[in-house]
Amino acid sequence: MKFGPRTLGRLAAGLAATTMLVTAACGGATVNGAAEPAASGSGSGAACGTVNMAMNDWVGYTADAAVVTYVAEQKLGCKVDQKALKEEIAWQGFGSGQVDVIMENWGHADLTEKYITQQKVAVDGGQTGNKGQIGWYVPPWLAKEHPDILDWNNLNKYAAEFKTSESGDKGQLLDGDPSFVTNDEALVKNLNLNYKVVYAGSEAALIQSFRDAETNKKWVLGYFYSPQWFLSEVPLEKVSLPAYTDGCDTDAAKVACDYPDYTLNKILSTKFADSGSPAAKLIKNFTWTNDDQNVVAKYITADKMSPEDAAKKWVDANPDKVEAWLK
């Protein structure tokens, strides 16, 4: 869920060089061996076939994928094969046919250059309609009692309050999954902040840390983002970092500015995009709002619905939007 060049510093360098896709660290389908068939179809788009959909590990992505999968299977007769893959790994499948679509891309200028511009095995599938934002947040109680904490210049003043067993003698800056787009280690270093980045390990763990911090008035400073349904439950307050300007994040090691705002988009394999499949047309046409995504994400996470049931509920309530995707 994040952007400009997303710094995937915690991914081992060997992953980038690997010649086959591997299972996401969080589990899920192993993608290797012979490529599975991409969605098929002639120029008339008469047949749908199988759509190989990468699944990245945050609930907003799950919401996008659930709705598109439901529509593709129920309205178009497609078979959607969802494959749990980390972001960078998923892009490696475009050339082999093992991945047809990434449903929510947060920037990745380096991967765009490699796979779209240079190798030409992938194409921009159009905007999802979602606007993304990444940053550092604190629970509402903390912002209310110490409003100056929302200015990064004051963070060192409070560093001791954020110490944990994991951060040692420094304040803790809590991040989520190590594969998420993040410049945080560079920001801490380049802004001379007395903090250490500690990874919660997942979106769910990050959310629970913020929920607990608000309920029990604990000191938590952490990475977060929108769209995200959790912000309607606990309206986290964003810390102002040095303003983003074009190019300020070009050199990942020297980043000392806030994250940009992201216009999220879909990435399709070139072969799939040109296949004539009705699923490719559906995905290109798919667009909704942050509010739409947050509703489905809440169904899945807070209301404990299965992704399929959550998608059905939203689709049934929004027939006009779905119809527009199918035209």
Q: How far apart are CA 69 and CA 186, in angstroms?
A: 37
Q: How many separate domains does the chain show?
A: 2
Determine the pLDDT at residue 36: 43
Q: Is residue 110 part of a domain?
A: yes
Determine the pLDDT at residue 173: 98
Q: Are 22 and 31 in contact (CB under 8 A)?
A: yes
Full-model pTM: 0.73
Tokens (6 digits) for 287 = 């667009």
Our separate counts of H helices and E strands in the chain read 12, 9
Q: Is residue 88 located within the same domain as residue 110?
A: yes
Is 32 exposed, middle or buried, given 0-12, 13-18 or 19+ CB atoms closer than 10 A?
middle
Q: How far apart are CA 110 and CA 88, in angstroms?
A: 10
CATH number at residue 227: 3.40.190.100
Q: How far apart are CA 305 and CA 261, in angstroms?
A: 30
Determine the pLDDT at residue 128: 97
Q: Is residue 256 located within the same domain as residue 143?
A: yes
Q: Is residue 85 located within the same domain as residue 42?
A: yes
Determine the pLDDT at residue 26: 35
**What residues make up the domain containing 23?**
13-130+265-326
- Other beta carbons less than 10 A from residue 189's beta carbon: 15
Helices 59-76 and 290-301: angle between axes, nearest 10 degrees: 90
Q: Is residue 7 part of a domain?
A: no
Determine the pLDDT at residue 249: 92
Is 306 exposed, middle or buried, given 0-12, 13-18 or 19+ CB atoms closer than 10 A?
exposed
Residues in Cβ contact with 73 at an 8 Å cutoff, skipping those fewer than 6 apart: 79, 80
Parts of the chain with a pLDDT under 70: 1-46
Q: Are 277 and 51 in contact (CB under 8 A)?
A: yes
CA 324 to chain centre: 25
